[in-house]
Amino acid sequence: MTSGAETEAVVTEPTPPQRVLPTAVVALLVAVLCALAAALALWSLHRMLEPPAGVDALLVVLALVALLPLVPAVRAFGDDRRRGRHLAAGRLAPARHQAASGREHAHTAMGYALAVLICAGLVWFTTANDGAITRTFLRWEFLRSSFANVLDAFWINVEVAVGAQLLVLVVGLVVAVMRLLPGRAGRPLRWLAIAYVDTFRAIPSIITLYLVGFGLKLAQVPVFKDLSPVWLAIIALTLTYSSYVAEVYRAGIESIHPSQWAAARSLGLSYGMTLRTVIVPQAVRRIVPPLLNDFIGLQKDTALIGVMGVTDAFAQSRLTASNVFNLTPVIVVAVLFVLITIPQARYVDRLLAKEQTRTGRS
Amino acid sequence: MTFLEIHDVHKNYGDHEVLRGVSLEVAKHEVVCLIGASGSGKSTLLRCINALEPIRSGEIRVAGDVVSGLGVDVNRLRRNVGMVFQSYNLFPHMSVLRNVTLAPVKVGGRSRAEAEEKALALLDRVGMKDKAGAYPDALSGGQQQRVAIVRALASDPQVLLLDEITAALDPELVGDVLAIVRELAQDGLTMLLATHEMGFARDVASQVCFLHEGRILERGTPAQIFEDPQEERTRQFLGRVLASGRL
């Protein structure tokens, strides 16, 4: 109903529902094509695995799953037929319901069929070239032989990440508060904070790691020259990520409405006390999601500490990988990083949900 | 005896002069209502009294002591001068009880137990004792404003500044909040109110000031201002209020 004439016609003569048949035909075609693609991909997988009967049965089940989108596609045709019957009998409302249901079925068929197509594409990619890709990235025997080594080394990544995260929480807040200091007295500190953030946010963390890792030792800087490489890595990542997190804190603090300052100050709380008891606690609640984002970035950057001579999980996996001429150990590191990140994301989701129920916000 | 003295106070935001020489004396136990159109300087005047805004020139004295200008211990001043805001401004991350006890514990030096006991007594007085553990977001505007009044009272202020405290409330909630202010007035608390509730001002005020473009244009008892205003501007303003059905 797009033209003006039709719009006017509504008043006297209700419009019949549109035909579903064209959409249904398209849906059926898409579903069939995607099922064919899935069959090809599964055949390729079958050839690569030359599997025992049990796995073959699984492949058959997967093939049947790939056929599932055909069900709603066929239903759409039934809906279209019933729409026609209702329309012929002059039952306009039931005809509309059938048409709507038919469109819904056709769209469902296309949505699921496209998902099947994407999965089939992935399977085809991993089995292409007679499975060379899979053999390069994922070999069971190398997975088993490298896992213990890599996991051992991964604790260094965890250690560096947790150490740096704890320091970043403190240093970032200090820098943010420095940057927000009021008045003439605060000006030089504000400038220093800005200079720090501008500098360390710009330097790639791999360069900071490299410079801190070797520079402090080379220059024989007291205290620092005796630190273990793990501590130097923590310092380098703290330098880099405190600059990000300071900006996150600042955004959080500035997002608190000035009326909260006025209310706290009017009660006789000092600037510092207001910041500590009223402003920062509210700001911290708001910045948890972006903070997690930066923390995940930090965790990932622990894979760079190899440049300063620390044998972390990635360095270890590369050693192993070049020994066996296969990338499976590196995949193990990648999976470990994914595994430690997901629980954190869910934990933050839960924190936010809890916060919402507690304060009664809908 | 004059308790609060405001003498020739000027204040500007950039080029805009908000207060152009305001003078006012408030005796102990007096209730002074500031009326006037939006932008006439009522809120600014209140915010200058407890130094939330610095003034350009003039002088403000509380209990004889100069509290404007440099070198004043603003945090001490503010413990004597409580303030309630139009938008309540409760701390959303604290329970009602924590909101009320924050200042007594952190700056008043009271023990938590003592502060809580007093807070609960005050909350009881405004009918909010059973909400002591609730968070502000779970309360209605009227309830939040009652808590905000209690929060200001918890520090035992000698004067209370109320900045259009019913302006953000639904009409049916205004009465509850005004009843509390009326009770405080009867108890003899010195108060300065910026308000649009003319009927309320006529009832409780000992002095009404009409502000216009940063000056107190007319000042007197409620009877003088509301029944027999001398200034043309005051008459116009009250006429408009009357026409909108708020008197």
Residue of chain B minimizing CA distance to A271? B75
| pLDDT beyond 60 at A144 | yes
Tell me: pLDDT of A359 over 70: no
CB atoms B52 and A360 under 8 Å: no
pLDDT of residue B68: 84
Q: Is the pLDDT of residue A355 over 80?
A: no
Residue A358's pLDDT is: 64
Residues facing residue B209 across a β-bridge: B34, B219
- The ipTM assigned to this model is 0.90
Amino acid letter at A174? V
Listed range (A248-262, A346-360, B102-116, B184-198) with the worst mean pLDDT? A346-360
Contacts of A260 in chain B (CB under 8 A): 89, 91
Asked if the model's pLDDT at residue A126 lies above 70, the reply is yes
List the structure tokens of A201. 């946010």
Instruction: Return the pLDDT at A114.
Output: 94
pLDDT tens digits along A238-281: 999 999 999 999 999 999 999 999 999 999 999 999 999 999 99
Please indicate whether, in this complex, the C-beta atoms of B91 and A260 are within 8 angstroms of each other: yes
Listed residue (A281, A278, A246) closest to A259, CA to CA: A278
Which residue do the tokens 């408030």 mark? B26
* Mean pLDDT for the stretch of residues A74-97: 91
Instruction: Kindly report the average pLDDT of chain A as a whole number.
Output: 88
CA-based nearest residue in chain A for residue B93: A282
Q: For residue A362, what pLDDT band results from cuts at 50, 70 and 90?
A: very low
Q: State the pLDDT confidence band at A27, using cuts at 50, 70 and 90.
A: very high
State the virtual CA torsion across A355, A357, A359, A360 in degrees, nearest 10. Answer: 150
Candidates B50, B93, B103; nearest CB to A269: B103
Question: Above 70 in pLDDT, residue A156?
Answer: yes
Residues A78-85, mean pLDDT to the nearest whole number? 91
Tell me: the pLDDT tens digits for B62-97? 888 888 888 888 888 888 899 999 999 999 999 999
Domains and CATH numbers, chain B: 2-243 (3.40.50.300)
Token digits for B31? 């209730």
What pLDDT score does A106 carry? 95
Asked if the Cβ–Cβ distance from B92 to A281 is below 8 Å, we say no
Tell me the domains of chain A and their CATH numbers.
10-137 (no CATH), 142-359 (1.10.3720.10)
**Given a cut of 50, is residue A361 above it in pLDDT?**
no
Q: Cα–Cα distances in Å, from A79 out to A24, A76, A335?
A: 9, 5, 46
Mutate to test the interface with A, among B62, B81, B93, B107 (most CBs of A within 10 A): B93
- Please answer yes or no on whether B92 and A359 come within 8 Å at the CB atom: yes
Instruction: Tell me the percentage of chain B whose pLDDT exceeds 90.
Output: 61
Structure tokens at B241: 């209020």
pLDDT for residue B94: 94
**A-proximal residues of B, 107-146, CB under 8 Å:** 107-108, 135, 137-138
A8 has pLDDT over 60: no
Give A193-198's long-range contacts (Cβ < 8 A, gap of 24+). Answer: A193/A246, A196/A243, A196/A246, A197/A243, A197/A246, A197/A247
B46 pLDDT tier (thresholds 50, 70, 90):
very high
- Is A59's pLDDT higher than 70? yes
First to last CA, chain B: 32
The tens digit of pLDDT for each residue in B47-56 reads 999 888 889 9
Does B151 touch chain A if contact means CB atoms closer than 8 Å? Answer: yes
Put simply, whether B70 touches A (Cβ < 8 Å) is no
Among the ranges given (A161-175, A199-213, A292-306, A340-354), the one the predictor scored with the smallest mean pLDDT: A340-354
What's the whole-number mean pLDDT along residues B186-211?
A: 91
Task: Copy the structure tokens of residue B223.
Answer: 């009877």
pLDDT tens per residue, range B89-144: 999 999 999 999 999 999 988 999 999 999 999 999 999 999 999 999 999 999 99
Q: What is the pLDDT of residue A218?
A: 80
Q: Quick one: which of A119, A129, A79 has its CA closest to A99?
A: A79
What per-residue confidence (pLDDT) applies to A199? 96
To the nearest 10°, report the CA torsion of A135, A141, A142, A143: 100
**What is the percentage of chain A residues whose pLDDT exceeds 90?**
55
Report the pLDDT averaged over residues A97-120: 93
CB contacts of A361 in chain B (<8 Å) are: 137
